[in-house]
Amino acid sequence: MKKRTLRQIHKSIAREWKRYLLDKRNRFKRHTVLGLRAASKIKYLVERGLLEPARKHDCVDCGDQANHYDHRDYREPCVVEPVCRGCNSIRGPALPLLRSEQHLWTRGIR
C-alpha cells in the first residue's frame, strides 16, 4: 500500500467521521419516523378490534404476560410479536439498523 502523509490520513479520518455523523442522524430520523408509523398502525388495529391487545397474550420469549407488540422490522408494520418489557429491551432496536451498528449485531456484541 502507498504510504500516506499525515495530512492525507487526517483528511480521510475527518471524511469518515463526517459520514458517520450524517449516517447516524439520517438513520435516527428514518428509524423514528418508521417506528412511529408502525406503532400507530398497531394502535389503530387494536382500537378497531382487528388485533387483540398485547396484554391478552403471553410473551413469545419467556411466557410472561406481554406488554406490547414488538417489531423486528419497521418496514413491515403488521409483522409483530407480543413480548414483555424485559424481552423487548433484550431484543434491541428494530431494523433498519445504522450501517455502523450492523457489524456489531452480526458479531453479537450488542
Q: Does 54 bind Zn ion (CB under 5 A)?
A: no
Q: Does 34 bind Zn ion (CB under 5 A)?
A: no
In the complex with Zn ion, the residue whose CB is nearer, 38 or 87, is: 87
Q: Which three cell numbers stand for residue 77?
A: 408494520
Point out which span in 14-22, 23-31, 44-52, 53-61 binds Zn ion (CB under 5 A).
Answer: 53-61
- 33, 62, 78, 79: which one binds Zn ion (CB under 5 A): 62
Q: Does 33 bind Zn ion (CB under 5 A)?
A: no
**Which residues form the interface with Zn ion (CB under 5 A)?**
59, 61-62, 64, 84, 87
